[in-house]
C-alpha cells in the first residue's frame, strides 16, 4: 500500500495532502477517489485513509482507521560531528530505517564548515522519505548544535546513558558490546567529524561522564561508524523484542 506523510498538526478525520505529497499521489501514482493509502504523522500515528478527491494541487483523505504506536522504551540519539555534505542525505534516511530517536549535527573543532543554526527543510524531507519507505511511524528528532562540545555536553544532561565512539587504545575504554546497546531509557551516542575528535573534546566528554567506547581496531569513516552504532542499537532492541515474544 502506498504511504504518505502529513504534519501532526493537520491530523484529523478529514485531511488534505498538498505540495509534493499531493503531486506524488495524483500525478505520479495516478491514484483516484475510493482507493486507500497509508498515512503517517511522524509522531506515532498511522492511519488507513480513503481518498475522497484528487485535485490539481491537493488530495482530500478520509480517515478509515487509526493506530497509535508507543514510543520505544529505549532510544538512541546519534550526535555526528559536522562535516561535508556527501552522504548526509543517506544517513538521514538510514536513521529512520534503523529507528534512531534523534539525529544531531554538532560543531566539532575539526569540522570543515560551520553547522547551520537550525535544521534544514531538506533534511526533514529526507527523514520523511525514509519513513514512508520503511513505514516507521516515528521521525527522529533533528537538531543542530553550533556551540561545539560545550553545547553538546549541556544537551546531554537529560540522557540516561552517554557514549562517545573513539579509536581504540584510549585508557578506560571498553568495546561496544551488548551491555552498552539499547539500554533502557535514552542513550546519546557521539561520533566525531571526518577529521576525528580533538584531544580537548575527548577529555571534556569523558570528564562530563561520557563512556568511551570502541568498535575495534579499524579506523572507520564517520558514516560507517554512524551506521554501525545505529545498527547495533537497533539489532539489540529487535533481539530483545523477539526474546520477549517467545517468552509470552
pLDDT grade for 218, boundaries at 50, 70 and 90:
confident
CATH 3.40.1280.10 at 74-243, yes or no: yes
Angle between helices 148-155 and 199-207 (to 10 degrees): 20
- Please report, to the nearest 10 degrees, the dihedral formed by the alpha carbons of residues 16, 18, 21, 22 taken in order: 80
Chain region(s) in the chain for CATH 2.40.240.20: 3-68
CA distances from 177 to 79, 229, 235, 236 (A): 19, 11, 12, 10
pTM score of the predicted model: 0.90
pLDDT at 244 over 80: no
CATH of 3-68, one of 3.40.50.10490, 3.10.20.30, 2.40.240.20, 2.160.20.10: 2.40.240.20
Average pLDDT over residues 28-46: 97
Average pLDDT over residues 172-189: 92
Q: 136, 195, 202, 124: which is closest to 166 by C-alpha?
A: 202
Contact 188, 156 (CB under 8 A): yes
| Strand 211-214 to 174-175 pairing | parallel
User: What are the grid coordinates assigned to 79, written together?
Assistant: 550526535
Average pLDDT over residues 3-19: 97
pLDDT at 248 over 60: no
CA distance 168 to 69: 39
Average pLDDT over residues 64-90: 90
Chain region(s) in the chain for CATH 3.40.1280.10: 74-243
Which pLDDT value is given to residue 72?
86
pLDDT at 114 over 90: yes
Amino acid at each position: 500500500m502506498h504511504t504518505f506523510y502529513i504534519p501532526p498538526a493537520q491530523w484529523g478525520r478529514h485531511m488534505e495532502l498538498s505540495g509534493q505529497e499531493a503531486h506524488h499521489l495524483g500525478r505520479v501514482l495516478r491514484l483516484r477517489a475510493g482507493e486507500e493509502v497509508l498515512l503517517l504523522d511522524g509522531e506515532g500515528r498511522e492511519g488507513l485513509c480513503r481518498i475522497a478527491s484528487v485535485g490539481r494541487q491537493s488530495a482530500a483523505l478520509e480517515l478509515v482507521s487509526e493506530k497509535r504506536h508507543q514510543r520505544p522504551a529505549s532510544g538512541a540519539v546519534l550526535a555526528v560531528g559536522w562535516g561535508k555534505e556527501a552522504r548526509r542525505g543517506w544517513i538521514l534516511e538510514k536513521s529512520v530505517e534503523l529507528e534512531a530517536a534523534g539525529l544531531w549535527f554538532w560543531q566539532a573543532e575539526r569540522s570543515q564548515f560551520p553547522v547551520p543554526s537550525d535544521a534544514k527543510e531538506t533534511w526533514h524531507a529526507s527523514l520523511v522519505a525514509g519513513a514512508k519507505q520503511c513505514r516507521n511511524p516515528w521521525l527522529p528528532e533533528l537538531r543542530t548544535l553550533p556551540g561545539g562540545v560545550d553545547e553538546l555536553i549541556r544537551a546531554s544532561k537529560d540522557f540516561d546513558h552517554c557514549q562517545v565512539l573513539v579509536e581504540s587504545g584510549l585508557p578506560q575504554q571498553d568495546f561496544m558490546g551488548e551491555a552498552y546497546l539499547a539500554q533502557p531509557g535514552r542513550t546519546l551516542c557521539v561520533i566525531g567529524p571526518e577529521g576525528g575528535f580533538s584531544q580537548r573534546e575527548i577529555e571534556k566528554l569523558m570528564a562530563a561522564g561520557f563512556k568511551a567506547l570502541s568498535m575495534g581496531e579499524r579506523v572507520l569513516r564517520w558514516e560507517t561508524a554512524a551506521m554501525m552504532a545505529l545498527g547495533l542499537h537497533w539489532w539489540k532492541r529487535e533481539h530483545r523484542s523477539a526474546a520477549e515474544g517467545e517468552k509470552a
